[in-house]
Each structure stands twice: as C-alpha cells, then as structure tokens.
Chains A and B, each alone.
Chain A
C-alpha cells in the first residue's frame, strides 16, 4: 500500500471561514500531520462540535462526525472504545469544549482514551457573531458585553494541566509547520492528547498581532514529563510558550479495559446461570 500524498487528505469541500481566520492554518496543519504520520484516510475519524470548528470533518477525505454543541468527547470516546485502532481527532472550540462541553474534559483526562482533541481557542463565540466565551478576557467589549466582559477568563492549558491530561501541547496557526508537528505528536501519543490552539478571529476578536508578538517556541532543554516544569512554564506572563507542554506515559482507556480478568463466557451458560 502506498503512502497517501499530501493532497489526498483534503476533500473538494472548501469551508467558508472569514478571510484571515486561523482555521485555514489549522486545516492545513492537520492535513500535514496526517501526511507526516502516513495515515490511511479510511482509518481516520475527524469529530467536530458546533461553532466555526463544525465544518472541519468535511474538509477531509477521511471519516468524520459533525456532532452536537459540546459533545465531541462523548462521541469520540464511543468511537475509540468500539474501534481502538482508528486514529481519532476531535476538533472543538473554547465555547464548545469549555462552556457547554466543559464537564467532559476532566473525565476524558482520567480515562485517557487514545484520541487527540484540538481546541481552537479564539476567545469568542464567533459563529454566533461575537459573544463572550469562557476564554474572553475581562473587559473585552462584545455585542453581548457592551460595557466590557465582566467575567474572568479561564486558561485552557492551565485547566488541562490541572485535569492531568497525559498530553498537552499549545500551538499557533501562524506557525503551521510547528502546529502540524504538535498535532502529529498528539495523534501519535498513546492516550488523551489535548492540543490548545491560540486561534485568532480577525472578525470578532483579532489576536494575530498580540499572539505573533508574544509566542515563543519551547526549547529542546524543556522536559515535558516534568509537571513542575509545566506549571512554571504556564505561569509565564510576558511570553506565550508554544510546543509540547506535558507528555506522560499512562495506561490508555483500552489498556485499562484489557486488565480486566479474562471472563470469556458463552451466551448459553450466562442464560443458565439464572435458573
């Protein structure tokens, strides 16, 4: 079987995001990651939620599931448990994954299913045309916060670290090659990988300039297995470090299930036990 060429992962569907949207870069980076890993399109499932992330599955020639608002992880975990050999990539947003779907993340982290989830964090509800999200900064004026957002934002990477995800990376679509590599690393990782993408929304929350000025790639001396180092890294104020922040080897959901004692039984003896 020949390795699919880079163009073979993209479908003829062209998403209609705003000009300058970070999603275009992320789409390209995912395509590059699939190519880097030489995945077969029929072995990949891209699962999206609701928001600007929703159309991602249609951009690929792989399998896909466009689910409900906030429910990427429930569906993705079901797919993963039924067919553990598939490569499953979830695509969610800051509202999708941390507001309506925020209850799912700690549980996915503790089960450690073998799937990657990319969270496109643009700090705004963009598809509904600009309301404050869980990651919108204090004081930001939006249509639904005309005098400035009154709530403190959450930091997705900090929260993921607290939830003890076994893989955490942060990337930026302005660095598509770097992001592609992070996504590839996340897909390759055995366990639950969260990839936090700092994703500018030029229409409702334009952070291109701010992020471009502040991001800095994590150097080779950094040890992603050291949680204390990860904590320090995420507390940096002047810079926004991007790269693999946490990488820990822990049994996956599948491996934990296999630990269960072999109790193979035939259906007839199960029935007879009710006599």
Chain B
C-alpha cells in the first residue's frame, strides 16, 4: 500500500484543514505518513495545496505522482492533473467543474459539494469536510476514525460547529458510490502526528527551554504561536519582540540569567540576528536559533522552500565566530536535534543554529511517541564559587569550556563581555588576550568535534562498502534522497548515502571513512550556489557532482534517481 493524495484549491476554502484531517486519520489507521504543503503568501486568495503520502512500507518523502487528486475548483484541477498517475483518480466539485469536462481522467468522482453544503447542511463552510469525508470513503478510512479526528481538531470551536462538521462527515461518506468504497486494513498505532515546527516546539519543551523570544515570520511563526500556547503551562515565558534583534537579544538575556532560551526565524530575520549571534559566541552564552529557511535573498519567496542559508549559518557575521550548526532531516529528527541543540549550547556555551526549511517545517509525519522520561538532558557546568572577587568567568581551560555563574549567585559576579576580554571578563584589547581567548573559544568546537565524533545523531545513512557511487546531502532533502537510494538499490545499483546533521563542527573522521574508495559523490541541494558541496570541497579533496534546484519546491525522489541511474 503506497498512496499519494493531493488536495488543491483556493486559499480560504479549508484545503489545509481537510488535508490535516485526512493525515491524522491515515496515521491513526496505522500507516506511515508524510505530507507537504504550499500556500500563497496572501491571507486569502490564490491556490494552495496539501499533499499526503501514506504507506505501509515507508513514506520518506511526499512522493512523485498522484494516485488521487482532490480538486476544490477548476484551477486546482487544471494545474494539478498533469501530476496524476495514468490510472489515478480525481475527486471534484460538480458545482465548479462540469461532469463532462474533457480534461478529467477516467476515474473522476464527485458530487455537487457546494450546493450540498449550502442546501442539505445549511452550513456552506463545511464544504471542505464533506469533500474530506468523501475522499476518506474512497481511500478506505473508517468513518469512526474520521469522526474521532474531527472531534479532536474542531472540538474547541463549540458544540454547534462540531455537530455541523460531524453531519458533514456523515454526508460525505453517504455520497460515495458503493463501487468506490474501499476499506484499508487498520492497525492502530501510538504515533503522534507532527510538523517539523511542532516537533521543534516539543523538543524545546522536553530539553528544558523556558524562554522563547520570537518575531512573526513565515515559515517560522508556528513556533511562536505554539509556544505561546504551551510554554506558560510548563512555567516558561514567550516574548514577542519588536524585531528579530530584540527577540534574540531577549533570549540571550534570559539565558545569561540562567534560563534555557530559544528564538526562531527565517532568512531575513536570521540576517538581522547575525550580530547578536556573534555576541553570544563572544560572551559565551548558550542560545538556540532556529532558521526555517525560505527561498531567495531579500524578501525572496516567503512561502517556498530552499536551502540557501547554509553559508550564513556557517559563516555569517564579522570576526571569527565559533558556533554549532545542526540540520535535522525529518520531523522526528527535528525533535531529537532540537534537544541536542540545547544540550550542545549548554555544554559548550555558544550559539547553536538549527537549520530547517519551509518543506520540513510545515510537512507532517507520524512520529513514534518519544520516551520523555529517558531523554538525556545536559545543563551548563556551574562554577564552584569560593573566593570573593576572584571568579574567572572566562577561565582558560583545556577543553575551552569555562564554568559559569548565574545572576543571584553570591561570589559569582562578573560582566558578560561583548568586547574582547581577559579571564575575569575585563575588557582587554592586547594581542595576547585576543589570540588566547579566540583560541579558547574555538577549542570548544575542537572539543565538540572530538566528543561528538561517534554520536548517532550526526548522520542518517545507507551504507554499501562496495559502492563507488555515493550521495551526500543535508537537511530536509533526506526524505527524497533516502527513497531514491532505496529504489536504486532495488534496481541493483551499488550506491551509498550519507545525510549530514552536524555541519559545524563537521564530523570529518566519519566523512573521510565514508569517502574512501568512492569515485563519484552526488550532492543534491536546494540552492543555486551548491553551498554544501562547497563545504565538502573546502574540507575534503573531492569534486562533487551537483544537483541543484531553485524552484521553491523540494526534490522528488525521481529527480535524484535519474542522476543515480545516469552515473551507475
């Protein structure tokens, strides 16, 4: 069983909600799910789409071609029919698209959903729920599960609204012609359904984050909104700054005061935060910065995906700025890499940047419920405060880490210093101080590379010792690459793959081992300037074969398979 469904329609028609309900229901039926969505940047108007891949085998990516298209209107049909499989079906609203429209495929199902919502339900807004239920019936989702999910999603909107939507569900199922009713095998699971952004929020809460500073920006605003809902309940605070500088500044201030803190943004906001990231690195204050990348420089493509902030995350800012950069590859990874980001920020007292992108931030996957009682949580090393006035906040140590104090602690008084300083934190512009302290701060990264060398969270891989062909990627491309590699292996192509999650410090030992005996390294990434391939060129004697894409959309597995087959 491997099903790809796309819902498309006008923004404001409830396409996304319909898609989310189907996703939750498919996950409850025990299927592995992966979703992808787009939406126009205007509040209402413009086409948006929600794509669901459901499989009992694996669903690492959003899939290539569609088994089912749910077209809310004419434009949704005309612009998406090209992606339908030859035997794929369409569900359409007969009030919007004539039944005899010649562009419709053989398997075209539907009903006059608009007039049914208006006349039979007297609730035109629930048209999307009728369509979702109709689609559920043809896919084989049980009516009971659909009702459970709808109650969970819409229960908070009041009894009257919920009842209308339950009636809409019943109506939708009734409309499905008998010969089109399917039944999926049910194997209910204990998975939770999360988007990348939601997984980051839960990871942050589990890691002990109790302060969030944020500023609204697509596609990171979900993090601000969800934390505003959840963080006060666990004793935390959410602060919406007047800009991104304020948001990260407050996070750094809160962390200085002893509270684990995070901010999240996208490219434009990240640019504004750059000076503050340098300060956190200089003053050695732990802070986690999420950059949910979007397309292009400047305002760019706010609602589209791209991986073009890698250079900025790795190298952005004036001066030599040690920082740790992580890039999760899946929704589940977002959860664990966020916890890791806090742990590393605390352990090494520096900024940790977590790079996602629109496609990962807003896609949803079923994730096994984490065992939160057994997570490893790291806290900053506290200084032993014995002597009055002698505390060396920036003590030069072998591993670079200097034990820290927190305001309120007696004998721990010091000045967190953004200018170059000596061990006690006093401003010091001598050449000795600068060379000694720069080396001390970078020693933390060297320590990190050593201590993290064998961390299983560094990579996701498919190994093949005989393979001369290798694929290396980073971040959200994991889904498409993983599937492409597995499908190539089914065709008996010798290929191996390494997805890098820890980008600074780069785990060079393992990558060197991976590259031994390899003739070709294919590097797919969603940017124009092949930023990750350049990072590999800088660190390893290789000349990667590039697959770059700047369409604002993720890779499909097919795009990568074609390159693998070409080189095999």
Partner of A82, one of B193, B249, B259, B426: B259
Asked whether, in the complex, the Cβ of A86 is within 8 Å of the Cβ of B408, the reply is yes
Tell whether A118 is near chain B: CB-to-CB under 8 Å: no
Please name all residues of chain A whose beta carbon is closer than 8 Å to the beta carbon of B213 when the two chains form the complex: 78
Please name all residues of chain A whose beta carbon is closer than 8 Å to the beta carbon of B493 when the two chains form the complex: none
Q: Is the interface of B mostly helix, strand, loop or mixed?
A: mixed
Tell whether B95 is near chain A: CB-to-CB under 8 Å: no
Known: A107-B246, A275-B193. A66 touches B408 (CB 8 A): no
Asked whether, in the complex, the Cβ of A74 is within 8 Å of the Cβ of B408, the reply is no
Asked whether, in the complex, the Cβ of B253 is within 8 Å of the Cβ of A76, the reply is yes
Tell whether B230 is near chain A: CB-to-CB under 8 Å: yes
Known: A55-B427, A107-B242. A65 touches B419 (CB 8 A): no
Asked whether, in the complex, the Cβ of B256 is within 8 Å of the Cβ of A75, the reply is yes
Known: A68-B279, A274-B198. A103 touches B256 (CB 8 A): no
Tell whether A43 is near chain B: CB-to-CB under 8 Å: yes
Tell whether B369 is near chain A: CB-to-CB under 8 Å: yes
CA distance A232 to B247 in the complex (A): 36
Tell whether B461 is near chain A: CB-to-CB under 8 Å: no
CA distance A64 to B213 in the complex (A): 21
Instruction: Count residues of A near B (Cβ-Cβ below 8 Å).
Output: 50
Known: A65-B415, A265-B233, A274-B193. A71 touches B427 (CB 8 A): no
**What residue of chain A has the Cβ atom nearest to residue B206's Cβ?**
A267
Tell whether A92 is near chain B: CB-to-CB under 8 Å: no
Partner of A264, one of B198, B206, B233, B412: B233
CA distance A270 to B203 in the complex (A): 12
CA distance A275 to B364 in the complex (A): 12
Partner of B242, one of A64, A103, A263, A265: A103
Tell whether B254 is near chain A: CB-to-CB under 8 Å: yes
CA distance A57 to B233 in the complex (A): 35
Please name all residues of chain A whose beta carbon is closer than 8 Å to the beta carbon of B248 when the two chains form the complex: 74
CB distance from B364 to the nearest CB of A (A): 10
CA distance A103 to B415 in the complex (A): 25
Please name all residues of chain B whose beta carbon is closer than 8 Å to the beta carbon of A213 when the two chains form the complex: none
Q: List CB contacts (< 8 Å) of A69-91 with chain B.
A: 71, 73-83, 85-86
Tell whether B417 is near chain A: CB-to-CB under 8 Å: yes
Tell whether B160 is near chain A: CB-to-CB under 8 Å: no
The winner among A41, A55, A64, A103 for most chain B CB atoms within 10 A is A64
Asked whether, in the complex, the Cβ of A83 is within 8 Å of the Cβ of B206, the reply is no
The winner among A74, A81, A268 for most chain B CB atoms within 10 A is A74
CB distance from A102 to the nearest CB of B (A): 11
CA distance A67 to B202 in the complex (A): 31
Partner of A78, one of B251, B369, B413: B251
Q: Mark B214-236 against chain A: 1 for CB-CB distance below 8 A, else 0.
A: 00000000000000001011110
Please name all residues of chain A whose beta carbon is closer than 8 Å to the beta carbon of B245 when the two chains form the complex: 71, 74
Asked whether, in the complex, the Cβ of B372 is within 8 Å of the Cβ of A268, the reply is yes
Asked whether, in the complex, the Cβ of B427 is within 8 Å of the Cβ of A58, the reply is yes
Q: Pick the 9 closest A-B CB pairs, nearest first.
A: A78-B253, A74-B249, A78-B250, A64-B415, A82-B257, A82-B254, A265-B233, A274-B192, A75-B253
Q: With A67-B418, A79-B254 given, can you name 12 additional A-B contacts, CB distance below 8 Å?
A: A42-B410, A42-B411, A45-B257, A47-B253, A66-B415, A66-B419, A68-B275, A79-B256, A82-B210, A86-B257, A265-B230, A274-B194
Interface residues of B (CB under 8 A from A): 28, 152, 190-194, 198, 202, 205-206, 210-211, 213, 230, 232-235, 237, 239, 241-243, 245-259, 261, 275-276, 279, 283, 369-370, 372, 389, 407-419, 426-427
Interface residues of A (CB under 8 A from B): 11, 13, 40-43, 45, 47, 54-55, 57-58, 61-68, 71, 73-83, 85-86, 103-104, 107, 257, 260, 263-268, 270-272, 274-275
